Amino acid sequence: GAVVSQHPSWVICKSGTSVKIECRSLDFQATTMFWYRQFPKQSLMLMATSNEGSKATYEQGVEKDKFLINHASLTLSTLTVTSAHPEDSSFYICSATRRGSATSYEQYFGPGTRLTVT
Amino acid sequence: DAKTTQPTSMDCAEGRAANLPCNHSTISGNEYVYWYRQIHSQGPQYIIHGLKNNETNEMASLIITEDRKSSTLILPHATLRDTAVYYCIVRASGGSYIPTFGRGTSLIVHP
């Protein structure tokens, strides 16, 4: 099956620093990638939609200048949390869309990245 | 995309069948029913999907009612490793779909 990886799997950083999280589709080209954030005991909240070569579309309430998304290729998207603060501590998950057939698109999720800001 | 309603939590005994319901009364004709699960501190995992026929794979069975307004995910022999949050999502198959998640059902499988 299709595989999506994330790196790092966990990271601890100091308040005020920036952290980059990578999302890769390992064996397919992703038409679209999505970034989610998940706080403890809550569901996944969509942050942004990313298409290769174009600017990301952010959900309402998500600061685009704080959460920088770069989708450099059909297999790689990065999320940079700039000037991180403790309230940014969360579980960040990416997903990638693969075209399964002429009419179906399948969604594959990465394993997630646990960010802790101290 | 149609909205779904799931029970907040369920539990079942190890080795027994786990039946997880989902209501999607506003589903439209071109929308599929998808099920994912999320084990603690992991990314969501695809389980199964269907349009109107019942489906079965190595993980689970999906039973969709004839009017398509509800469905049931069946884990035939639940194990402790099936403890997870299960999400029922209704979506069209086209590429413009943006996946969003509700609260899901927290399934606890106990010994």
**pLDDT tens for each residue of A61-70:** 999 999 999 9
* pLDDT on residue B19: 98
Mutation target to probe the B interface, by most B beta carbons within 10 A, among A90, A95, A109 is: A109
CA distance to partner chain B, nearest, from residue A26 (Å): 16
Could you tell me the pLDDT band of residue A92, with boundaries at 50, 70 and 90? very high
Res B92: pLDDT: 78
pLDDT tens digit string along B53-93?
Answer: 899 999 999 999 999 999 999 999 999 999 999 999 998 76
Task: Give residue A97's pLDDT band: very low, low, confident or very high (50, 70, 90).
Answer: confident
pLDDT band at B30 (very low <50, low <70, confident <90, very high): confident
pLDDT of B25 strictly over 90: yes
CA distance A106 to B106: 24
The pLDDT score that the predictor gives to residue A53 is 80
The answer to whether the bond into A8 is cis (omega within 30° of 0) is yes
Both ends of chain B: CA-CA distance in Å?
37
Percentage of chain B modeled with pLDDT above 70 = 94
More confident residue, A32 or A117: A117
Residue by residue, DSSP assigns A18-53 as -EEEEEEESSS--SEEEEEEE-TTS--EEEEEEETT
Q: In whole numbers, what is the pLDDT of chain B averaged over residues?
A: 92
Contact between A95 and B99 using a beta-carbon 8 Å cutoff: yes
Contact yes or no for A108 and B46 at CB 8 A: yes
Backbone angles phi, psi at A88, to 5 degrees: -85, -10
